[in-house]
Structure 1
């Protein structure tokens, strides 16, 4: 119990925003990534996250790294010409401690590894807004011999949170002057929350009279559910200094198996037996589902063009197809019609990044980078609690070294997301339901500090 409470205290400030990267995974482990996304082949103060096998090539000493990011923006669903929008204001911290010796190094990292921000949709979401359209499209529903029709929303709302925190402990071995290897173990804690209220009334006086009689003034359903899971995995890395100018690196993060169990409360619509569990079955209290973090193969190179200018190229490949991700669908009965959800489908995902670092003088350096992310999420996976959109990220930043043992990093990045349509027309086939459109707009700011002792 104490262990869980301690993790919750940490994850309270660790809600990580999946802006870019893959389905659940993020790559913004540190603020420096915002300014230069091509970190996989670099050897610098944040390589402990991206190229741990390379840290043995840093100067000897004990390093402490702390960072903080702030993501601002919004996530939005547009349905029937109405926007359902949640503003984002999310802090994201990270911490690392590592010790470099002549032929080896030890490292420990803590921070976010995956997830999405704490989002509150004050006007509801597309998944609840579609319910009155379904009922009205059928001409209403019969309750107790009376037809209830012309339903409309009456103050529905939803709030969701999805985060994963990780801690990784590993070691690096220097094989020779060119080759070094790393291995680590990883522990992951995942938590998801869903709170929702559905409230419907009718524009038809007779129908509203029946709602007053049977439902106390409004058709209502709610849910307050939390699902959690523990998982573990491993990390392997290799770094090869081909020449004095060219460095090559590769890292493999294993799949993390996560068996989630949902706990909480829900209230369905009386008589109809309709509720949030019909549309979000993974959050039904008592439900157990698998949602793994897929394995990642990360590779990169850095090339020192001049003494002051370094360029980098990175790539990440996400093995989404090998992971199990909420393979459960909901079933709802509305007016005698059975509506079955569509199973989410995923392809493998990838990222490609190009970055640069130019040192103006011994104290200051400029960062720049661009990243393209193909998440692998198909339209069948888009819903109110998840829509992983492809994106292009552009970032820049500054490094400041006040002395030989300290470094500050200041970064900013903006994400340009594709807009995508959902699958309502397929899920509610033959009911004249239009598809929602999903979009995001996020800007992130970061500051990091590293001290060598």
Structure 2
């Protein structure tokens, strides 16, 4: 089986929700993140993604961590008092980490959904449709008369791996490679009426955008003693040159309004929510470079404090279609706490603030990322010397915002995580 086909098979079971991160990135790469998102400075098997250079400070052995997240989502957009809503859950969001540590060297592997907005289904269409009727079709007395549900899907499946090595008794470093297979889909219908129903243009789209890219991963870790740890990670920009396949939109207008079909196609094509999904929509939408910094400090025998941050270089990212126009660089800051209740149980909690770099000039119905507060908690149970189990939860509260066309956007997510770590 070809490597790309393997990626697609994994992708079909991933419906990730972009509730943490910036632009397309997803920061929640395992179940433990949902307990305390300040993961960058922590030494653990999760370091296969968050802190690869810190893996050399684990005990010798082979570790496997399997995770699943379940996201209960409530997305909505509103225009002129009319609401369009998607509450489709993401029941299965898996990820996997494997680490082999021996002496001064550790090898690591991570697989999961590195980016994407997941699956959504908006009953009755999207808010862009009545807005287009009020603007592009207004001179002809245009009205949106609703239609079938709009479906959208966006996932970027990633495999990454590399090697970490101690430099001396305090410093270590890591290098790795990430491969990304990206797919974005937009499918659905919308019905319009012009001149009191004399003309009935039909919006009918089935668009699929795909790309494949690679990026480098570099890490440093400072571990002078068993109480303090400082970690840094840098990921290079991932070039993703999307190939767009869409053939129904122009034909749908021509079939419904004849010779005027091209005119309506041009009107629709001016809307930024639709433009990238049209047949002309091929081009780069790169994942930006990321810099991350984190620290952990054991302040007492049973208590460890955590803090970390991610910075997304959005303004420097390659973008042929204007997706990142008007964005600022995004960032996240997070804090967390581990408390060892006894030799079996560890309690975890944390908070994260996400500034996506987006603003009212960037929001569209098919591409809106909102700033958010994330409140997290969880517990880890040591079943025996080889097996740890964890259950986690995060509440993500987004900032409501409105774009320049007076479309209001809202999101709410409840995320549940389950994980298991086994040491051979």
Residue 236 of structure 1 corresponds to 218
2:234 paired with 1:252: yes
The one of 152, 159, 163 equivalent to 1:160 is 152
Q: Indicate if the aligned counterparts of 2:74 and 2:85 stay in contact, CA closer than 8 A.
A: yes
Tell me the distance in 2 between the aligned counterparts of 1:439 and 1:326: 28
After superposition, what is the alpha-carbon deviation per residue over 1:88-109, rounded to whole angstroms, capped at 9, x for unaligned? 3112100111100111011111
Q: Aligned residue pairs: how many? A: 411
The structural deviation recorded for 1:388 is 0.5
2:163 paired with 1:171: yes
Q: Indicate if the aligned counterparts of 1:373 and 1:392 stay in contact, CA closer than 8 A.
A: yes
The structural deviation recorded for 1:10 is 0.8
Q: Which moved more, 1:261-270 or 1:179-188?
A: 261-270
Q: Considering only aligned residues, what root-mean-square deviation do their CA atoms show, in Å? A: 1.7
The structural deviation recorded for 1:437 is 0.5
Q: Indicate if the aligned counterparts of 2:281 and 2:321 stay in contact, CA closer than 8 A.
A: no
Tell me the distance in 1 between the aligned counterparts of 2:132 and 2:8: 35
Residue 287 of structure 1 corresponds to 281
Residue 181 of structure 1 corresponds to 173
Residue 441 of structure 1 corresponds to 412
The structural deviation recorded for 1:326 is 4.7
Tell me the distance in 1 between the aligned counterparts of 2:107 and 2:403: 46
Tell me the distance in 2 between the aligned counterparts of 1:255 and 1:367: 32
- C-alpha change, 1:374 and 1:396, in structure 2 (3 Å) is same
Tell me the distance in 2 between the aligned counterparts of 1:244 and 1:436: 52
2:299 paired with 1:305: yes
Tell me the distance in 2 between the aligned counterparts of 1:17 and 1:412: 14
Tell me the distance in 1 between the aligned counterparts of 2:395 and 2:319: 28
After superposition, what is the alpha-carbon deviation per residue over 1:16-48, rounded to whole angstroms, capped at 9, x for unaligned? 211021111111000100101111111123122
Residue 422 of structure 2 corresponds to 451
Residue 117 of structure 1 corresponds to 118
2:386 paired with 1:394: no
2:97 paired with 1:105: no
Q: Indicate if the aligned counterparts of 2:169 and 2:224 stay in contact, CA closer than 8 A.
A: no
2:346 paired with 1:365: yes
Residue 195 of structure 1 corresponds to 187
Residue 215 of structure 1 corresponds to none
**Paired residues for 1:268-417 under 5 Å:** 268=250, 269-270=253-254, 271-273=260-262, 274-275=264-265, 277-279=269-271, 280-285=274-279, 287-328=281-322, 344-417=325-398
Residue 48 of structure 1 corresponds to 48
2:256 paired with 1:263: no
Residue 38 of structure 2 corresponds to 38
SS at match of 2:23: coil
The structural deviation recorded for 1:150 is 5.6
After superposition, what is the alpha-carbon deviation per residue over 1:192-221, rounded to whole angstroms, capped at 9, x for unaligned? 00112111236x7xx32x23xxxxxx3212
Residue 134 of structure 2 corresponds to 133
Q: Indicate if the aligned counterparts of 1:112 and 1:166 stay in contact, CA closer than 8 A.
A: yes
Q: Indicate if the aligned counterparts of 1:88 and 1:117 stay in contact, CA closer than 8 A.
A: no
TM-score normalised to structure 2 length: 0.93
Q: Indicate if the aligned counterparts of 1:344 and 1:378 stay in contact, CA closer than 8 A.
A: no
Tell me the distance in 1 between the aligned counterparts of 2:297 and 2:310: 19
The structural deviation recorded for 1:324 is 2.1
- C-alpha change, 1:54 and 1:154, in structure 2 (3 Å) is closer
The structural deviation recorded for 1:278 is 4.3
2:151 paired with 1:151: no
Q: Indicate if the aligned counterparts of 2:352 and 2:373 stay in contact, CA closer than 8 A.
A: yes
Stretches of structure 2 that go unaligned for 5 or more consecutive residues are 255-259
After superposition, what is the alpha-carbon deviation per residue over 1:118-168, rounded to whole angstroms, capped at 9, x for unaligned? 101111111112122226642x2xxxxxxxx36341325311111111111
Which of the pair has more CA radius of gyration? 1
Q: Which moved more, 1:83-92 or 1:26-35?
A: 83-92
Tell me the distance in 1 between the aligned counterparts of 2:111 and 2:136: 48
Q: Indicate if the aligned counterparts of 2:283 and 2:320 stay in contact, CA closer than 8 A.
A: yes
Tell me the distance in 1 between the aligned counterparts of 2:48 and 2:322: 37
Q: Indicate if the aligned counterparts of 2:315 and 2:328 stay in contact, CA closer than 8 A.
A: yes
SS at match of 2:294: strand
Tell me the distance in 2 between the aligned counterparts of 1:5 and 1:264: 21
Stretches of structure 1 that go unaligned for 5 or more consecutive residues are 141-148, 212-217, 330-342, 425-434
TM-score normalised to structure 1 length: 0.87
